[in-house]
Structure 1
Amino acid sequence: MSASETARENAQQALIDAYAKLLTCVTKMHELAHAEQWAELIEQRTHYVMSVEALRQRDEETVLDDDGRKRKTELLESILEHDVEIRRRLVARRDELGKLIGVSQRQRSLHRAYAPQQGDAAFFDTGSDQEKGAS
């Protein structure tokens, strides 16, 4: 085997290994999403995005043989399946947070609307208590 063939095979294996590493990362992210560990998921996603960027460059530079293309396709399918599920869970979480924000805003609006009146009612109640004591 020539040096160029060895280099090509090494580059191909490195690319496949990088896709396998990406699958490991996205599998971990899927587990975090399932466990609703959102902060850890976001941290892991940062590493995932950096890995994807590095992989993109390596992918453009590497030519795969038929077996390599087949393995890459299998890995990509698995990665995308996990990614779809992660996104589904993130959308559900976003919707949940949106509802909580809406409830909080309504409570704050109600508090602003009725808080001054509650202060007036407390003033009148205090006066009534004093009158009762005087009688």
Structure 2
Amino acid sequence: MTDTPEASQEAVIAGYQALLARSERMLVLAREADWSALVDQEADYVQQVEHIAELDARHSLGKAAQDRKAELLERILENDLEVRRHLMQRRDELGELIGTSRRQRDLQRAYGNAGAQVFKAASRFGQGPM
């Protein structure tokens, strides 16, 4: 098969279309909070971006193909922005959970033994745990 300019342009555009499809899958996963599947997709996404960059560097595009590429890129970037928003929200949630866990741990360290002593004293006086 010869590598005609038309075939080369089609390969580049097909690469961007495939990347758009992957970014749409990633957006669905982010909306569903399926973080492990999203991470799996991200590794493939990065490889796909590198492949498209190589194709893009080797082949020049005509006006129509450039316009189509711009449309696809705009949609890919919109998806990427929304995925990032979901990831930032998740990061904030995890930060809050970590902060709560630390506070609980610190309280347990500070009052853990004192709380156990109160419980033991109540048992000795026949009151038992409340």
With normalisation by structure 2, the TM-score equals 0.90
Q: Distance in 2 between matches of 1:36 and 1:42?
A: 11
Matched to 2:85, the amino acid is R
Listed as ranges, the gaps of 5+ residues in structure 2 are none
Runs of 4+ in 1 over 6 A off after TM superposition: none
Between the two proteins, what is the percent identity of the paired residues? 40
| 1:95 corresponds to | 92
For residue 125 of structure 2, give the secondary structure of its aligned residue in structure 1.
Answer: helix
Residue 73 in 1 paired to residue 83 in 2? Answer: no
| Runs (5+) with no aligned partner, structure 1 | 130-135
Match of 1:45 in 2: 42
Supply the distance in 2 between the matched residues of 1:84 and 1:98 (Cα, whole angstroms). 21
Post-superposition CA distance 1:72-122 (Å, at most 9, x none): 001000100111111111111111111111111111111111111122223
Q: How many pairs align?
A: 126
Q: Could you tell me the TM-score, scaled by structure 1's length?
A: 0.87
1:133 aligns with none
Q: Supply the distance in 1 between the matched residues of 2:8 and 2:16 (Cα, whole angstroms).
A: 13
Aligned residue number for residue 58 of structure 1: 55
Structure 1 SS opposite 2:93: helix
1:121 maps to which residue?
A: 118
Task: Pick the structure with more helix per residue.
Answer: 1
Of structures 1 and 2, the larger Rg is shown by 1
Q: Report the CA distance between 1:37 and its aligned residue.
A: 1.1
